[in-house]
Amino acid sequence: MLDADFFRRWLTAATAAVDREAARLTELDSPIGDADHGSNLQRGFVAVSAVLEKEAPATPGGVLTLAGRQLISTVGGASGPLYGTLLRRTGKALGDAPEVSEAELAAALRTGVDAVMTLGGAAPGDKTMIDALVPAVDALGTSFDAAATAAEQGALATTPMQARKGRASYLGERSIGHQDPGATSSALLIGALAEAARDE
Amino acid sequence: MKMLINVAETVVTDALRGMAAAHPELVVDVENRVIARRDAPVEGKVALVSGGGSGHEPLHGGFVGHGMLSAACPGEVFTSPVPDQMVRAAAAVDSGAGVLFVVKNYTGDVLNFDMAAELAEDEGIQVAKVLVNDDVAVTDSLYTAGRRGTGATLFVEKIAGAAAEEGQPLERVEAIARQVNANTRSFGVALSACATPAKGSPTFDLPPGELELGVGIHGEPGRERRAMMTSGEIADFSVDAVLEDLQPTGPVLVLVNGMGATPLLELYGFNAEVQRVLTERGVAAARTLVGNYVTSLDMAGASVTLCQVDEELLRLWDAPVSTAGLRWGM
């Protein structure tokens, strides 16, 4: 079973991963976006880690909803509402339980990903974070490591796609040939989940 | 790349501190990143609130003042502000007559303003929104996020701001804002990429002999790349791109806008060519504004925005305005 501490470790690992990869995310964002994805997420996750240190919600749902609200309040751009909604809605789906099973997390995360798809209007194949998150959620039934691998492969698979959502969509065909920064950061988030599970 | 900054992390707050020092007629909340008119809330007046990423100055903070915006919230460079800022701005300037959010069509701006509108309504503030989407370089289809909002933002903020100043009600101010947006189209070109403070180098590589046609205002490449053209050739291409889409049947307001690193010498020369093309196409320029208004950091280049006006819109355009970035008639 997964307790609040597990979810705090997930977000701590995510903060470290975003911190480590911020320059690469910004680099990926510069030919097709506006060169700020890394620095924006870095600001948000640092704030998430800070608020979790100050307030320590006792439930998995509490940790994720607090983190989601913090991302919405600090990131801005599209990433703030999208990642904020992902964590907040996943957290709300987990409810008040002090511990949740892996299957419950998988189901809740699917609810979160669905909420992101509704909010951003993106579907698989649009060259967005959804292209990493959907395969990850599908693979979460197998294992955390399988989810991380699926997310990573999903991010790589965005390279030949033409963007239909977000700022890269303004470039039309010229967006082809660049890996999507949002799918890449989503793979980092799922990678951090696998990392937290390995530390169990 | 050399920049006149301390560190990238404080670029926005440093600029707000400097703005506060230069403009005592504004209330600049540096910590919460809200710029408001000192006399707000004005009794009975609809408030206009806009915001977006920083790096487009004077948009939007430079357009806060009499006859234009009531408040603006600047985000990080090229990143939309967060809902908390927008709600704070709305609460600071709402007199009870309601607030119009002026939102440029970028995914981040739209999502954050949508969230802010919900939160503001929870606080009892009546909110209307207008989405600015004037850029003809983007095909508005299922396969994009829709047209970008660029130069039309200035026309919407000025004309709707004048209507609000007259005491017109929220639904009327909103309708005028929508009318201005519907009657406005833009097209931009880049002669160089821009450098964001966070990255410190140009966002894309543009060789000296080439230009990008159909750019937005975030340093992203445009619709296509071509060999460098003369000012006259760029005017022909840009004005035709706008006219093909707008097909005006009356006089237009003209904005010849610099992207941040193009001197007025070049912009005025470019405007001469824009006016030539308009005359050749039989379009009357009612008023013309030339300068750096909706910029893209240090990008070299320009955009052309045309807004078809009737007598009412022209009267509102001519109404007095007093802001840091736009001022006439008072």
A79 touches chain B (CB under 8 A): yes
Buried/exposed A1-39: b ≥16 CB within 10 Å, e otherwise: ebebebbbbbbbbbbebbeebbebbbebbbbbbbbbbbb
B82 and A80 within 8 Å at the Cβ level: the answer is yes
Taking the C-alpha atoms of residue A147 and residue A137, their distance in angstroms, rounded to an integer, is 7
Residue B66 annotated in active site: no
A48 vs B contacts (CB less than 8 Å) = none
Give me the residue from A34, A74, A167 closest to B82, CB to CB: A74
**What pLDDT sits at residue B199?**
82
**pLDDT at B221 > cutoff 70:** yes
Task: State the pLDDT at residue B142.
Answer: 62
Predicted local distance difference test score (pLDDT) of residue B19: 98
CA–CA distances in Å: residue A83 to residues A113, A116, A117: 9, 8, 11
Identify the three-state secondary structure at position B118.
helix
- Catalytic site includes residue B23: no
User: Residue B78 and residue A36: Cβ atoms within 8 Å?
Assistant: yes
Kindly state whether A72 is in contact with chain B, defined as any CB-CB distance less than 8 angstroms.
Answer: yes
Does residue B143 carry a pLDDT above 80? Answer: no
Choose among B84, B115, B139: nearest Cβ to A81: B115
Ranges of residues in chain A whose predicted pLDDT is under 50: none
pLDDT more than 70, % of chain B: 99
Q: What ipTM describes this predicted complex?
A: 0.90
Nearest CB partner across the interface for B76, out of A36, A73, A162: A36
When the pLDDT of each residue in chain B is averaged and rounded to a whole number, the result is 95
Supply the pLDDT for residue B141: 60
- In the block, tokens 């912009």 appear at B267
> Contact B218/A82, CB-based, under 8 Å?
no
Please name the residues in contact with B171: beta carbons below 8 A apart, sequence gap of 6 or more.
B128
The answer to whether the Cβ–Cβ distance between A164 and B144 falls below 8 Å is yes
Specify the pTM: 0.94
Considering only residues A172 and B267, tell me which one the structure prediction assigns the higher pLDDT: B267
The alpha carbon of residue A173 is apart from the nearest alpha carbon of chain B, in Å, by 9
Chain B residues in contact with A178 (beta carbon < 8 A):
none
pLDDT of residue B140: 64
- Give the residue from chain A lying closest to B199, CA to CA: A35
By C-alpha distance, the chain A residue nearest B212 is: A171
Best mutation target, A36, A41, A70, to test chain B (most B CBs within 10 A): A36
Residue at token pair 């790589």 = A156
Q: A76 in contact with B at a CB cutoff of 8 Å? A: yes
Burial tier of B141 (Cβ tally within 10 Å: 0-12, 13-18, 19+): exposed
The partner residue sitting opposite A78, judged by closest CB among B108, B137, B204, is B108
Q: Report pLDDT digits (tens) over B161-214.
A: 999 999 999 999 999 999 999 999 999 999 999 998 988 888 888 898 999 999
Task: Compute how many other C-beta atoms are within 10 angstroms of the C-beta atom of residue B170.
Answer: 17
User: For the segment B87-113, what is each residue's pLDDT rounded down to a tens digit?
Assistant: 999 999 999 999 999 999 999 999 999
- Cα B245 from Cα B133, distance rounded (Å): 13
Q: Cβ B79–A36 below 8 Å, yes or no?
A: yes
* Interchain CB distance below 8 Å, A73 and B76: no
Q: Any chain B CB within 8 A of the CB of A146?
A: no
A164 touches chain B (CB under 8 A): yes
> In whole angstroms, what separates CA A74 from the centre of its chain?
15
> Which one of the listed residues B23, B60, B66, B218 is annotated catalytic?
B218
Amino acid at B236: D
Nearest-CA distance A140 → chain B (Å): 28
